[in-house]
Structure 1
Amino acid sequence: MTGQDEPRDLAALVVPQAGCLERAEDPWEPYRLLDPAGALVGAVAAFLRDLQASGRPETTLRAYAIALLRWHRFLWAAGVPWDQATRAEARDFSRWIQITVKPGRAGGPGDAAGAVAARAGVPNPVTGKAPPGGGYAPATVAHSESVLRGFYDFHLEAGTGPIVNPFPLARGRRGRAHAHHNPMEPHRGERSGRYRPRLARRAPHHIPEEKFNELFAALGSHRDRALVAFWVSTGARASELLGATCRDADPGQQLIAVIRKGTRHLQQLPASPDAFVWLRLYQAQLHGLVPAGPDDPLWWTLRRPFRQLSYHAAYRMFTRASDTLGANWSLHDLRHLAAYRMSRDPAMPLADVQWVLGHAQLSTTQLYLSAPAGEVITSVLAHHARMAAAKERPPGEEPPPGLRYRPESLEALFGRPRHDHP
């Protein structure tokens, strides 16, 4: 173990892919973290059981376990037991995860130059989205810090870990609390982690309407068209829709029920008529080939042996259709498109959009009110064109309607004109 004043040579540190995360066919313990010798890591198992007791879904357990596996691999390479880790290890891990190259990417472990080069990818010419980099994304780094801080908080309370959390909160500032807080934004309940990177707040990406039509035409089956039509009309997450059963689809009421990712509540969502048309065509195609009872899955693979369609299979389906257009859209972009369509409809209240998307905070839904960069650029260029046309207009010529002041604006500035003068 290294002290606070003894820097660890992270450039020479090799973190092998030791240990593994095992998917267990056990509802009481769906994921198990194994050490290099194949033994269960008990500290992680206890933490995952606590998460399961608090109602976290299996997808959350898996994400937390992956972050803990990454941390344990670092500790195994450094030769430090998990319950003897200090802030020096937490600090070095936070530096390492932000610079190192992900396993299986170009370069090698600790190849900082390769990670920087891979992060500086050229945006896709169709979507404008940068490709996945060779290093860990800032969101992954931030999520990892939150998981590890929670992991050590759990063992600190249980008395089974270090007496000091290796991942501390950010240092407090002197002066009045929240002195510079924007009153239009909600207060945060606690300080963020000291080793947590700041994330840029960006407008969500979505697929432009004309490109969506091309993408929909590139889909290869009625099932795929039904899936995409439901995703883009309900705003449901990909995993939520894929978990639907036959009883969840109600064509008569034009509703489909999904289990929400966060709350685990069953919620009915309105869908477009086209989505149910494609669903009926897909069901007619598989009639008699797959079970169709009320509790049977709604979505199946199209080849024998028929199995319930998994998220990864649906992701590959959508990626193939996206690749035909030279794009790099993801399934989540369909949810963003649904949110953008609804939020831009002046007749639909924002609170209704929040309910459909299942957002806990209205501020999350308000992100979709921001126009994408492409639309902003088009609007600003049109503004410059109007200004140039105004400069070239001959003297005395009336300006076009778009460049005139509105009468109500003039009245607000100068008052209503009087007509009683002689």
Structure 2
Amino acid sequence: MLHDEGLPRNLTGFVLPEFGRLHGTGQLYEPYRLLDRAGVVVSPVAVWFSELQAAGKPAATLRSYGHDLLRWYRFLWAFDVDWARATRTEARDFARWMQLADKPIRTHWRHRAKEAAGQSAERTEPQAKPPQRTPNPVTGKPAPGPKYAATTRAHCETVLRTFYDFHREEGTGPLLNPFPLDRSRRNARANAHHNPMEPFKGERQGRYRPHVPRRVPRRIPDALFDALFAALKYYRDRALLAAWVSTGARAEELLTGRQDDAEPGQQLIGVVRKGSRERQELPAAPDAFVWLRLYQQQAWEAGVPRGPGLSMWWTLRRPWRPLTYHAARAMLLQANAALGANWTLHDLRHTASYRMARDPQLSLTHVQWVLGHAHLSTTEIYLAAGLDQILREVRAHHARQAELRGRPPAPPAAGYSAASLDVLFGRQP
């Protein structure tokens, strides 16, 4: 598709084609590959993935970056633009499209399998759009909207800018990065004139990077957590929930644990940290080990594999497979459906963080160690009151104000004239 250089494209009605895919290989040295429309590996992405892996980035990071690159490559393929010839015009149009376009509605994998086999896939057209961002009546959290979130767009811009910076330094990409830095910062070193008495500013911002609003971490109030816990049906799910909310571990960190990582005598659970990849033992509540023991006894009697180096968490039905993040998320979605809520697995980590950070007898540095935060400032966000507490206290404030307005004025002290005080303070007699 021909396009005049420098002129904005007409993106009205543009739909991102589903060319190519991100393929998980399961291999240690090349966990993910980006394939083009012909199924050929995209070599510039493969080289960058090797660089990221050499820098210590885990496979989950490569997967996250790969989805952003796939979106960008599909945009270029739709307009027949080579990745090395992409200019700031393409980057600008891509940023405009992500800001204004609706997120694509993916076809379910069962329908895709039927279509690939030549069978008719039963579905209704057109498919419904994602719901608007209306707050959930139980949790108060908005549902995902039909547009790309600001965090998604900011992450994508950072990934693409870093990708082109790497190839520009290697001499394998364009001389000018299609995703430049902000005009006010592109020619200056970050924090070049920093005042040592003031905190450092954030990272250097890209020109097409959106402003990301600061979100208040959501914790699950105790009453709602009890309802969520009661909505779970199996020992395994309750053991997982109790372990997440007491250790503060990330969902993936706990799910990758082995059977010998649990030490009930010491009340410790060993996890491998997401960033450092180091093993760390985290204290857990006694009830978490009670539910874990009930689950293990039930699972081993049913035939779940047993061994020190085997996974701690398994599927509930044969064939036995280690529990994955997506399966654990589906478990929580079922409990949410029964309650009409939309809690996430990460909300459990927020809940544990709030409980520990707001305990006056627990040092904040200890909470930082448990959560695995690199900076204490990250842990300090949990010192502030949660959103539910803020709303409750502000409602109480309004109730007190209404009560005060309904009260009659206090009688004046002895020796003062009520009429004179009304004139002095401008009140009606």
Shared topology, TM-score over 0.5?
yes
In the superposition, relative to structure 1, how do residues 396 and 255 fare at CA in structure 2: closer, same or farther (>3 Å)?
farther
Work out whether 1:359 is the aligned partner of 2:378.
Answer: no
Work out whether 1:218 is the aligned partner of 2:219.
Answer: no
In the superposition, relative to structure 1, how do residues 181 and 17 fare at CA in structure 2: closer, same or farther (>3 Å)?
farther
Map 1:184-263; keep pairs closer than 5 Å: 185-188=199-202, 190-263=203-276
In the superposition, relative to structure 1, how do residues 301 and 105 fare at CA in structure 2: closer, same or farther (>3 Å)?
closer
In the superposition, relative to structure 1, how do residues 80 and 26 fare at CA in structure 2: closer, same or farther (>3 Å)?
same
SS at match of 1:369: coil
From 124, 130, 137, the counterpart of 1:125 = 137
1:25 offset after TM fit, Å?
Answer: 2.6
Work out whether 1:385 is the aligned partner of 2:399.
Answer: yes
> Does the 8 Å contact 1:354/1:362 carry over to 2?
yes
C-alpha distance in 2 between matches for 1:343 and 1:263: 23
In the superposition, relative to structure 1, how do residues 367 and 248 fare at CA in structure 2: closer, same or farther (>3 Å)?
same
In the superposition, relative to structure 1, how do residues 229 and 175 fare at CA in structure 2: closer, same or farther (>3 Å)?
closer
Q: Counterpart of 1:14 in structure 2: which amino acid?
A: V
1:337 offset after TM fit, Å?
Answer: 0.6
Deviation digits for residues 387-413 of structure 1 (CA, Å, limit 9, x no counterpart) = 45456277379xxxxxxxxxxxxxxxx
SS at match of 1:258: strand
- Per the alignment, residue 414 of structure 1 pairs with none
Q: What fraction of aligned residue pairs are identical, expressed as a percent?
A: 56
C-alpha distance in 1 between matches for 2:273 and 2:340: 32
- Per the alignment, residue 98 of structure 1 pairs with 99
Q: Counterpart of 1:214 in structure 2: which amino acid?
A: A
SS at match of 2:94: helix
C-alpha distance in 2 between matches for 1:254 and 1:87: 55
> Does the 8 Å contact 1:105/1:134 carry over to 2?
no
SS at match of 2:340: coil
From 395, 418, 422, the counterpart of 2:410 = 395
- Per the alignment, residue 342 of structure 1 pairs with 356
Map 1:265-414; keep pairs closer than 5 Å: 265-287=278-300, 289-390=303-404, 392=407, 395=410
> Does the 8 Å contact 1:14/1:77 carry over to 2?
no
TM-score (norm 2): 0.85
In the superposition, relative to structure 1, how do residues 249 and 184 fare at CA in structure 2: closer, same or farther (>3 Å)?
farther
Greater shift in the superposed pair: 172-181 or 27-36: 172-181
C-alpha distance in 1 between matches for 2:280 and 2:165: 33
C-alpha distance in 1 between matches for 2:93 and 2:392: 45
> Does the 8 Å contact 2:132/2:146 carry over to 1?
no
> Does the 8 Å contact 1:203/1:370 carry over to 2?
no
Work out whether 1:140 is the aligned partner of 2:152.
Answer: yes
Aligned CA-pair RMSD: 2.6
Work out whether 1:11 is the aligned partner of 2:41.
Answer: no
Q: Counterpart of 1:84 in structure 2: which amino acid?
A: R
- Per the alignment, residue 80 of structure 2 pairs with 79
C-alpha distance in 1 between matches for 2:158 and 2:193: 25
> Does the 8 Å contact 1:153/1:165 carry over to 2?
yes
- Per the alignment, residue 23 of structure 2 pairs with 22
Map 1:143-162; keep pairs closer than 5 Å: 143-162=155-174
1:384 offset after TM fit, Å?
Answer: 3.4
- Per the alignment, residue 406 of structure 1 pairs with none
C-alpha distance in 2 between matches for 1:186 and 1:365: 17
Gapped runs of 5+ residues in structure 1? Answer: 107-113, 398-422
C-alpha distance in 1 between matches for 2:192 and 2:396: 41
SS at match of 2:281: strand
In the superposition, relative to structure 1, how do residues 348 and 51 fare at CA in structure 2: closer, same or farther (>3 Å)?
same
Greater shift in the superposed pair: 379-388 or 46-55: 379-388
SS at match of 1:32: strand
C-alpha distance in 1 between matches for 2:98 and 2:188: 33
Q: Counterpart of 1:36 in structure 2: which amino acid?
A: R
- Per the alignment, residue 57 of structure 2 pairs with 56
C-alpha distance in 1 between matches for 2:199 and 2:282: 29
In the superposition, relative to structure 1, how do residues 264 and 118 fare at CA in structure 2: closer, same or farther (>3 Å)?
same
C-alpha distance in 2 between matches for 1:324 and 1:178: 54
Q: Counterpart of 2:165 in structure 1: which amino acid?
A: D
C-alpha distance in 2 between matches for 1:175 and 1:159: 22
